[in-house]
Amino acid sequence: MRIPGYQIERELGQGGMAIVYLALQESLNRHVALKIIKPVLTTDEEFAQRFTREGRLIAQLNDPHIVTVYDIGSHDNIYYLSMEYLPGGTLQQRIRQGLPLKDALSVGRAIASALQYAHSRNIIHRDIKPQNILFRENGSSVLTDFGIAKTLGGNTIMTRTGLSIGTPRYMSPEQIRGQTVDARADLYSLGVLFYEMLTGHVPYAAEDSFAVAMMHVTSPIPELPPDLARYQPLLNKLLEKDANQRFQSGHEFLAALEAVETSAGHPTLSQETLVPAVGAIAPPKRRLGRKSSLLLPAVALAGAVFGGGYLWLNRP
């Protein structure tokens, strides 16, 4: 495969939609991440449009915690996106290794800030997850993969009517129901991410995607371990089933997090590793109370989910 102006060196990873290569941009003699749509999808106009649209969306964004796009184009029916190469690995890898509390908070602040910036420009990500957060050499975290992003108020939503899109373990209840989503859906996903960074596992887990979806819609919010209880109110507000009761912006979450961090008697810059190894972790406790009134009959939920349907984009 040959893309004019680039020397492809090796594959970095791939998902359902594209393959990402490490490449040398010849004109500037710099390494880039070259994202190329899979050949089997180039005949699908919808996928090609989504791929092109991703580059144009990110190119509008200029934020230190959002990946930088350098170029986008096509050659011999090969669609490609040239972007900043992020050699520091993924957040998923760091969570598996064990994430110090200060690093979890730092990533939480960075992604909330990136979302605030994107949302202020009417762009929602819709697929916040550890695999889509990478790190630069200097350790700063970067939000990537806007492949299923949506422009608020726009007419170019790249999904079919009635289909939910995203990754099940991180999807908001309204995404699961196939309802219209806004920036608050990203904040819900940030809540799932925040919980996972603090504990090493997602708040809702089951053997199949439908069961996970049911839990997001009906299950109470799990409790954090006692030594992290001061973050429970933040988590509760991020993971509210009702979007109107959540944090309404990244700024709101950042202000609340700062208040917790500056509270007397609660040092938050500990180097303590929260999760020595992912796997041997006790199931989280579930908070009971008023959220239990949100439980819906399983049959009714099944009808809602299957009536809307799913389009899982399981990209790394």
Could you list the active site residues?
127
Name residue 11's beta-bridge partners: 21
Q: Which amino acid is at 270?
A: S
Q: How many whole angstroms separate alpha carbon 114 and alpha carbon 117?
A: 5
Q: How many whole angstroms separate alpha carbon 41 and alpha carbon 26?
A: 27
184 CB-near residues (< 8 Å, 6+ apart)? 172, 243, 246, 247, 248
Q: In what order do the strands lie in the sheet with 30-37?
A: 6-14, 18-25, 30-37, 78-84, 69-75
Tokens (6 digits) for 163: 């289909």
- What is the crossing angle of helices 250-261 and 183-199, to 10°? 30
The DSSP secondary structure of 38-93, one letter per residue, reads -GGGTT-HHHHHHHHHHHHHHHT---TTBPPEEEEEEETTEEEEEEE--TT-BHHH
Distances (CA, A) of 31 to 8, 210, 252, 291: 10, 40, 37, 49
